[in-house]
Amino acid sequence: MSQASKRKSAKTAAAPPDGCCDLPGADKLLLAPAELAEPLRPEDAELAMLAKALAHPVRILILRNLLRIGTCYFGRLADLLPVAASTASQHLSILKEAGLVRGEIDDQRPCYCVDLAQLRRLQHLLGDL
């Protein structure tokens, strides 16, 4: 090993840690895994399902548009999105399955809005993370 490499290794080893590992509580990592482990909670499956429903930028955009506009007919909503109407429909189906969006037929046209109670539930679950 060259002298320069040895100096570089010594500096790297002597450098104080930075980032998340030097935060208070990092010493808890010395506990046994059974003592350290956070148990799986019943609501974790619900949070995962809601997070998966939001796991695409277009779905986030749909929610943002619906929150801004309120109730909106599908055609108008689809016009606001950077995807084809068929793709927008697929994204809306995922949001509806998760309960984040409600849809009903009004004069033979689908109309959508955000389910605010479910959105508050998502916020609560994220806050408890």
State residue 41's pLDDT score. Answer: 92
Biggest CA-to-CA distance, the chain: 80
Q: What whole-number distance in Å separates Cα of residue 65 and Cα of residue 101?
A: 12
State residue 10's pLDDT score. Answer: 47
Q: Please, what is the average pLDDT of the chain?
A: 85
CB 85 within 8 A of CB 78: yes
What is the three-class DSSP state of 102?
Answer: strand
Token readout for 56 is 């695409």
As annotated, the residues of the chain forming the CATH 1.10.10.10 domain(s) are 44-127
Residue 15 has pLDDT above 60, yes or no: no
Residue 70 has pLDDT above 90, yes or no: yes
79-92 average pLDDT score: 97
**CATH topology classification for 44-127:** Arc Repressor Mutant, subunit A (1.10.10)
State residue 19's pLDDT score. Answer: 63
Residue 11 has pLDDT above 50, yes or no: no
Provide the CA 77 distance to its chain's centre, in angstroms: 22
82-93 average pLDDT score: 97
For residue range 18-61, what is the model confidence (pLDDT) as tens digits?
566 666 666 666 777 777 788 899 999 999 999 999 999 999 99
State residue 37's pLDDT score. Answer: 81
Looking up tokens 């399902």 gives 49
Q: Residues 11, 16, 21, CA angle at the centre, nearest 5°? A: 130
Q: 101 has which bridge partners?
A: 114
Number of H helices, E strands in the chain: 7, 3
State residue 65's pLDDT score. Answer: 97
Q: Residues 112, 68, 49, CA angle at the centre, nearest 5°? A: 60
- Listed in sequence order, the residues at least 6 apart from 37 whose beta carbon sits closer than 8 Å to its beta carbon are none
